[in-house]
Structure 1
């Protein structure tokens, strides 16, 4: 199967097309205070590590003041750094130090909902005629819409005897995006952080905004609710254009949208210079189990259908780790997937710990579950009279803690993440798999990641090159990218042993012509 001459139009040089992003899950990266949670001073202390790794962009998960029912995706104050992570001055120092090292920083921005601890909501609760009442969505009688965390999406507030709407946890009330005052508040928030120097935003569940109010009941399909009228509402695109206009009023900023879909035909609707620069391609990144054919098909689908660059990733805080989900614990397979992510056409996002091959953790009891989604599904299962073991199995299938364990820095207590008690379990294998050990091994996964990232950073063809071909045969993904008269060919072999025949005057950049299963080669022509 061969596809040729895809996206041959000239590419505009833009910093984010050159960037290798690295996602930092705030509570799990580096703790400088000994309280068991990561913080800005801890992350600042690791910037030299990230610089040496070759990272040129950081995505920070939420760090604004929050009760952290959902680890910061429930914002209580959009203008304050949560004390767990430090102070606003600590953030400013981190940002300054990152920029000194030529590392851009984008921050998670959650504007679909707020915490019920937010002052807006506290005011809205007081009375039906409170000025903040219409910041949220209230009904005398709820419809059938369900929460994405399980159960009804409506909660009765006894003060006014009305129900408020929450797509997620009951403590996370949805904002009313049909209210111009809400839009103005969010625009003000964006300007605050842009003025401080952040380089852009990752907009959380941005196609979930309730822009057109409460519509008809969602249909039931195969016994489950189909989220048809509560997401992708008609006014969402107009709302995104308003947000993007604010971002575009500051030079050289970037937006990435989390769109709640794994369908390219849905994702592509929200990517444009007037909406999101890129969207997270869950069709590619969240594949549930390994299939070379599936990965190739999604790669080709993105190339054919996306208006601009796709995003390339295989891990995040919302899915099991790549090492377990796709590589089945095989470091070579994980490296082959990393090679694809870092050499294909798109914007790569490395999830923290992937560079050393971190594994999932698993909860062995309800008490070990931290994730609100996992807890909710456990309680729902118990309410349905499941046994505790059955409930735990169900909970773990939804539990997002798997990929959130502390970064494994060394073999000391708590993997060198903290001197205190970690907020979540450390992976039990940390003593034999950590940064300090891998830094001493020139053949380690960390060393191989550094080499791959260095290649991408030094080769404009891997940043801007269009595909001359994109081929799949015998579980091998092959493509040639071309830019300014230079070609780089990449062959990633998920199949059997294969010997590559190089064209004349080729130069190998990485790998060998004798491809073992789960190996790769990069070579260049047109010097």
Structure 2
């Protein structure tokens, strides 16, 4: 009898960035009822889980990742009743919902911090991190990670905006308050969490040990025991600074602290090493393949992986890794190569219709990280045009423009001016058009997800790169004892000759154009396909 596997290993997750999904109350801001109105669209795609970016009470300094009250809904998104209604309707549609959990820091408008900054002996003082003298740690959002508090003559620590003070996880009382809040949400019927920059909670700032710090395992284990143990939920930790080996340990199937993590090794490959995300370099496909190979091999039968190329913090996948002259083909190719691997697939809103990045004027950008970086780089002597080139490539607003529903004004997102401008290509590129076209990106994603769920090889097969040093083709083989698939993806606008004749018995399951004959293989530009063969490998090996 086949071992029953955890539901989240077969699930497809769809990330919603509420600000930009759908406005229902005519204020230019996406909201909970807007999401509720589009559940059919999401369900039809083949989605099992909706991940909701933060909708908690927040002054929105960092678009909701600065929480001022974990137990209330931000009025711009709706009410707690709207939230409960959404959860109920998602469940009625046979889907699940996970929420974003931001517990490395709060807003400086959280009641805890308002109290903490009043005096050194305030009961909440130790909920945050204070020092008489700052050290050299820099904020992710540019500038020092320390801000002076005049009332108490000390500096508080903030790894992000100065309006996002870091919580002091070494305080056991604080940790218990956080666990209580987590359990309250789970008791409301939430099916799990995406844990924002959770690799930072174990840090030791005095030894400058931040990501994957010395206390990470201890605090994750404690959170697991207090909140996640004995609950059938999905937990995915955002851990940009974690090695692939550590990813395997955290998600180890014998004692998993989290179901899976977002590991960022592949995300940093188009930046100059050590110079940060704005220092651009061309992606080397061989490096890209090697990272995925290492992930697939290291986590196989040990941990579990999440499969993503984009999210609310990362640029649009097709603009970054594909080719806009081959937008439809390269969108399908990226999805095929990514979702053919072992792990849980994540789709970021708009990815399913091949939405692209933007090239705005500076005045149109809203993101705090982008605007801080621009000022910082200008002061350091960088040229305006060079800074803008980096923003066009890596700015977070690339993926935050409103979802393009149709070709009416404001792309059908809202009937008033949205909080951030629409991508000007919405008349040609929108969901209504995609749903109507048989060979659309949306319909391709839908077919790909149907195939993924039909064949167990996707969650169980081994992984082997074919032609690992080829600079334009990403080809791999996956096997179980009685099945095999060959996944082909071309990252080139040229036709490429290659010998794949040993796989000529395989049948094509899905492709972004006419299937090629594997006996004499010439691979067209941005071609992709999954070929399948059923055979008893056990007898041959």
Q: Under a length normalisation based on structure 2, what TM-score does the superposition of the two structures give? A: 0.87
Which residue number corresponds to residue 489 of structure 1? 486
SS of residue paired to 1:401? helix
Conserved in 2, the CA contact under 8 Å of 1:286 and 1:315? no
Separation of aligned partners in 1, 2:116 and 2:73: 23
List aligned pairs for 1:68-467, cutoff 5 A: 68-209=60-201, 211-212=203-204, 214-216=205-207, 228-261=208-241, 263-272=243-252, 273-285=255-267, 287-288=269-270, 289-306=282-299, 307-329=302-324, 330-331=326-327, 332-365=329-362, 367-384=363-380, 399-462=395-458, 464-467=459-462
Which residue number corresponds to residue 225 of structure 1? none
Q: CA deviation at 1:46?
A: 0.9
Separation of aligned partners in 1, 2:103 and 2:463: 40
Conserved in 1, the CA contact under 8 Å of 2:16 and 2:53? yes
Cα pair distance change 1:373/1:469, threshold 3 Å:
closer
- Higher relative contact order (CA closer than 8 Å, sequence separation 6+): 1
SS of residue paired to 1:280? strand
Cα pair distance change 1:399/1:504, threshold 3 Å:
closer
Conserved in 2, the CA contact under 8 Å of 1:111 and 1:186? yes
SS of residue paired to 1:258? strand
- Point out the more displaced range, 116-125 or 242-251: 242-251
Separation of aligned partners in 2, 1:385 and 1:465: 52
Conserved in 2, the CA contact under 8 Å of 1:177 and 1:183? yes
Cα pair distance change 1:195/1:156, threshold 3 Å:
same
Separation of aligned partners in 2, 1:487 and 1:275: 32
Match among 14, 18, 34 for residue 42 of structure 1:
34
SS of residue paired to 2:15? strand
Q: CA deviation at 1:392?
A: 5.0
SS of residue paired to 1:215? helix
SS of residue paired to 1:107? strand
Aligned residue pair count: 504
RMSD: 2.3
Separation of aligned partners in 2, 1:390 and 1:207: 32
Q: CA deviation at 1:149?
A: 0.9
Cα pair distance change 1:505/1:378, threshold 3 Å:
closer
Separation of aligned partners in 2, 1:242 and 1:142: 30
Separation of aligned partners in 1, 2:364 and 2:490: 39
Residue deviations 1:396-454, cap 9 Å, x none? 66631111110000000111011111111110000001011111211122221111112
Residue deviations 1:477-496, cap 9 Å, x none? 33343457333332334461
Q: Are residue 525 (structure 1) and residue 533 (structure 2) matched?
A: yes
Separation of aligned partners in 2, 1:270 and 1:136: 26
SS of residue paired to 1:284? coil
Cα pair distance change 1:244/1:263, threshold 3 Å:
same
Which residue number corresponds to residue 4 of structure 1? none
SS of residue paired to 1:429? helix
Cα pair distance change 1:11/1:150, threshold 3 Å:
farther
Separation of aligned partners in 1, 2:226 and 2:109: 27
Separation of aligned partners in 2, 1:63 and 1:51: 21
Cα pair distance change 1:396/1:125, threshold 3 Å:
farther
Q: CA deviation at 1:186?
A: 0.8
Match among 500, 513, 517 for residue 516 of structure 2:
513
Separation of aligned partners in 2, 1:377 and 1:250: 44
Residue deviations 1:147-197, cap 9 Å, x none? 111111111111111111111100000100110011001101110111011
Gaps of 5+ in 1: 1-9, 217-227
SS of residue paired to 2:266? helix
Cα pair distance change 1:513/1:397, threshold 3 Å:
closer
SS of residue paired to 1:83? coil
Cα pair distance change 1:498/1:262, threshold 3 Å:
farther
Conserved in 1, the CA contact under 8 Å of 2:339 and 2:345? yes
SS of residue paired to 2:462? strand
Conserved in 2, the CA contact under 8 Å of 1:54 and 1:457? no
Conserved in 2, the CA contact under 8 Å of 1:200 and 1:247? no
Which residue number corresponds to residue 10 of structure 2? 18
Cα pair distance change 1:361/1:250, threshold 3 Å:
farther
- Point out the more displaced range, 499-508 or 348-357: 499-508
Separation of aligned partners in 1, 2:335 and 2:28: 30
Separation of aligned partners in 2, 1:484 and 1:51: 33
Residue deviations 1:217-239, cap 9 Å, x none? xxxxxxxxxxx523322111101
Conserved in 1, the CA contact under 8 Å of 2:322 and 2:491? no
Cα pair distance change 1:341/1:468, threshold 3 Å:
closer
Cα pair distance change 1:441/1:390, threshold 3 Å:
closer
Separation of aligned partners in 2, 1:117 and 1:109: 17
Q: CA deviation at 1:303?
A: 2.1
